[in-house]
């Protein structure tokens, strides 16, 4: 008993243009999804951080933080006759780094 069954199937080659377009659309979709996910995640973290920073913070503490920020970022004379100046901390760090890198 011999079975001679023949299966008929599509013998045509896949259309390379359609496959390339499908791969391109998939890649673009993945990039868009990842970027949107990243933006959503960063937005969530920022809003969560802001919420945590403002919970239970008294008016005096907020005022003190603003005062400290003003002190750290302001420029003023300490002793003008000696040429001593108080500069913002970020500028001071950059100047120290520049002096040591020479």
Indicate yes or no: pTM above 0.85.
no
- Distance in angstroms (rounded) separating the CA atoms of residues 102 and 95: 11
Each residue of 61-72: pLDDT tens digit? 889 989 998 888
Given this model, what pLDDT does residue 52 score? 77
Question: Under DSSP, is residue 12 helix (H, G, I), strand (E, B) or coil?
Answer: coil
Q: Where are the domains of the chain?
A: 16-100
Question: pLDDT tens across 10-55, in order?
Answer: 778 888 899 999 999 999 999 999 999 999 998 888 888 877 777 7
| Residues contacting 72, CB < 8 A, separation 6+ | 88, 89
Q: In this structure, what DSSP letter does residue 72 have?
A: H
């Amino acid at each position: 008993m011999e079975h001679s069954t023949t299966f008929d199937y599509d013998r045509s080659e896949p259309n390379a243009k359609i496959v390339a377009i499908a791969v391109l659309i998939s890649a673009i979709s993945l990039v868009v999804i990842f970027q949107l996910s990243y933006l959503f995640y960063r937005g969530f973290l920022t809003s969560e951080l802001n919420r945590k920073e403002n919970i239970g913070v008294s008016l005096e503490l907020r005022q003190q933080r603003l005062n400290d920020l003003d002190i750290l970022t302001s420029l003023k004379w300490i002793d003008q006759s000696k040429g001593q100046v108080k500069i913002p901390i970020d500028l001071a760090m950059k100047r120290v780094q520049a002096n040591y890198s020479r």
